[in-house]
Structure 1
Amino acid sequence: MPDSPALLVIGECVADVVRLPGAPERTHPGGSPANVAYGLARLGRATTLVTQLGPDAHGRLIRDHLAAAGVRVLTDGSPAPTPAATVELDDEGRATYSFDITWTLGAVERPGEPPRHVHTGSLATGLEPGAATVLDLVETLRTDATVSYDPNVRAGLTGDRARAVRRAERFVAVCDIAKASDEDLRRLYPDEEPEDAAARWLRAGPAVVLLTTGAGGALAFLRDTVVRVGAPSVRVADTVGAGDAFMSGTLHALASRGLLGERGRTRLRSMDTAVLGDVLRHAVASAAVTVGRSGALPPDRAELAAALTSVPAPG
């Protein structure tokens, strides 16, 4: 049975049409928040996703995919087509995206039980008019729930950079856990080193800021401390969903230690470096499993436990 605390993810589902050199086109269920919800459910966490899904083949594919992991899906009933993305993979498995997406999230049925934790990010927090709805939901729920945020910045979709920065910083200010890749922060702050931007985000309010650096591993910023964990050696199939698996691994580890929810918030803010290092190792291990196979397929608990044995100790 899924473990407590109950987790709520708010954000888009996207059908990823994947194109790999010399291989037939494939369609995978995707969307960063949907991937996080799927990853949490694979790890045994009771998870609800608030999203938009169209009454079409892509929508049915994604619903079935999420249901197979045990994700409860709540939608606003919009008849708009399910968003889609074309994912071009190079010979090393690195992904670039082009999108056909609108985000107009309207009124959605609230979960029966108040969530202990809310996660959001990606296009759902960067595209209007839906982004405003998401921010309102987060501000309403954060009284009783901890909040995590991952901007997952997509070039060409977030509009004017100054506006994208303002949106991102509004979510950073109301979250407890902020996560970004070095590429995200370079897109938002091209004149600032990613580590400096992450440290500045920490001062804006979160308890912890996580920074991923691809094959370089990840860093976690906590008060005046920075913890680093290197990435294990992995034969990369592709990088689709790696950051989302990192996020679901993070939240799973925090939940296991009672660091989510209103009661966990104080402990989250007083977390020591040993605990933070263990959380970061879980996140890196989760991402490593995902990049080792095609598509956004995060690990289950057994796979995560096995992957942890190859993740180096924090530095």
Structure 2
Amino acid sequence: MVDTLVVGEALIDIVRPVGAPTTEHVGGSPLNVAIGLARLGHPARLAAYFANDTYGDLIARHLAADDVALVEGSLGAERTPTAAATLDETGSATYEFDLAWDLPYPLPTDIGHLHTGSIAAALQPGAEKVAEAMLAARDHATVSFDPNPRPTLIGDAHDVRARLEQLIGYSDVVKASDEDIAWLYGAGGDPGQVLALWGQLGPSLVVMTRGGDGALMHVTATGETESVAGRSVSVVDTVGAGDSFQSGLLSGLLDSGLLGSADARSRLRAANLSDLRPAVDRAIETSAITVSRAGANPPSRAELR
């Protein structure tokens, strides 16, 4: 089977509600994607940057529970990153981040696919090394990217747009949310035009998630853009929904032989909407299952229809 390397942050989410105990959970968008892939039966490794401390031990055990391998060197940080959310009486959160991101170690090359995004693609000094890893992987593997911009960490949209578009150009598959695109390009525009623009930069498939309304997919080779309906489910919370969508999308493409090697890239470039739609359908399903239960808890393959 194809080995997937996920590159990006693993951290501890600390939630401080009003009148209730503080809770701590393992988090990080790339970590969630790696776990989602593993639960769907795909060998996954995570290249991260956290410490060999109490929080780091929580992360390592969380990954091991789903057989996600941690790349050697990932425990090189001085302390494990945290993201603290203090909630007010209305439930609104104020966030405080304590994190550093770097990749001060060599990444494995015996992989068929590389996925990255979120903080790891934007926060220096590691972000530059992520870009280099994406380019290097293209010689033998396919590449996917989720911008997942964090405004409180990366600054003004105008300042980061060119950087993210560069990384989109290094990618074969890109997934973003409607909120991501609205922040980057302004609300009120035509998201279909943004997907087409991104497709012209390099990726063969670009998908925009729309929460409960499903997704919009654009196929570069044919110019096709199609709206894909969401599934009606009882939502418990939306934590990890986008990451679960990402895992499902990659899983579907891997199963179809459209990711995982240079030859797979050639097949992906020639694919049409009917070839790619099943992977988006799987992403819709995995995300719907995730929001139907508490926390970032993606489904196993056995739970899929």
TM-score (norm 2): 0.92
Cα gap change, 1:158 to 1:245, in 2 (>3 Å) = same
SS of 1:252 mapped into structure 2: helix
Cα gap change, 1:237 to 1:129, in 2 (>3 Å) = same
| Residues 236, 293 of structure 1: 8 Å contact kept | yes
Question: Aligned to 1:48, which of 45, 56, 59?
Answer: 45
Matches within 5 A, 1:3-82: 4-19=1-16, 23-74=20-71, 75-82=73-80
CA RMSD of the aligned region, Å? 2.2
Aligned to 1:288: 288
In 1, Cα distance between equivalents of 2:94 and 2:209 = 17
Structure 1 residue 214 and structure 2 residue 250: aligned? Answer: no
SS of 2:13 mapped into structure 1: strand
Aligned to 2:225: 226
In 2, Cα distance between equivalents of 1:18 and 1:237 = 17
Cα drift, residue 148 of structure 1: 0.2
In 2, Cα distance between equivalents of 1:228 and 1:91 = 37
Structure 1 residue 174 and structure 2 residue 170: aligned? Answer: yes
SS of 1:80 mapped into structure 2: coil
Cα drift, residue 195 of structure 1: 2.6
In 1, Cα distance between equivalents of 2:93 and 2:2 = 33
| Residues 220, 276 of structure 1: 8 Å contact kept | no
In 2, Cα distance between equivalents of 1:24 and 1:167 = 40
Q: What are the ranges of 5 or more consecutive residues in structure 2 without an aligned counterpart?
A: none
- Counterpart code for 1:8: L
In 1, Cα distance between equivalents of 2:186 and 2:277 = 28
| Residues 85, 94 of structure 2: 8 Å contact kept | yes
Aligned to 1:146: 142
Which moves more between the two structures, 224-233 or 60-69?
224-233
Aligned to 1:104: 102
Q: What are the ranges of 5 or more consecutive residues in structure 1 without an aligned counterpart?
A: 307-315
In 2, Cα distance between equivalents of 1:96 and 1:211 = 27
Aligned to 1:278: 278
Cα drift, residue 24 of structure 1: 3.5
In 2, Cα distance between equivalents of 1:95 and 1:44 = 35
Question: Aligned to 1:198, which of 188, 195, 199?
Answer: 195
Q: Deviations over 1:253-293 (max 9, x none)?
A: 11111111211111111222222221111001111111111
Structure 1 residue 186 and structure 2 residue 169: aligned? Answer: no
| Residues 118, 147 of structure 1: 8 Å contact kept | yes
In 1, Cα distance between equivalents of 2:147 and 2:66 = 24
Identical pairs, percent: 43
Which moves more between the two structures, 280-289 or 25-34?
25-34
Cα drift, residue 179 of structure 1: 0.7
- Counterpart code for 1:227: E
Which moves more between the two structures, 229-238 or 57-66?
229-238
| Residues 12, 51 of structure 1: 8 Å contact kept | yes
Cα gap change, 1:258 to 1:56, in 2 (>3 Å) = same
| Residues 94, 238 of structure 1: 8 Å contact kept | no
Cα drift, residue 61 of structure 1: 0.7
Matched residue count: 300
In 2, Cα distance between equivalents of 1:92 and 1:116 = 46
- Counterpart code for 2:293: R
| Residues 228, 277 of structure 1: 8 Å contact kept | no
| Residues 2, 112 of structure 2: 8 Å contact kept | yes
Cα drift, residue 99 of structure 1: 2.2
SS of 1:277 mapped into structure 2: helix
SS of 1:114 mapped into structure 2: coil
Aligned to 1:84: 82
Cα gap change, 1:193 to 1:57, in 2 (>3 Å) = farther
In 2, Cα distance between equivalents of 1:142 and 1:185 = 25
SS of 1:105 mapped into structure 2: coil
Structure 1 residue 115 and structure 2 residue 114: aligned? Answer: no
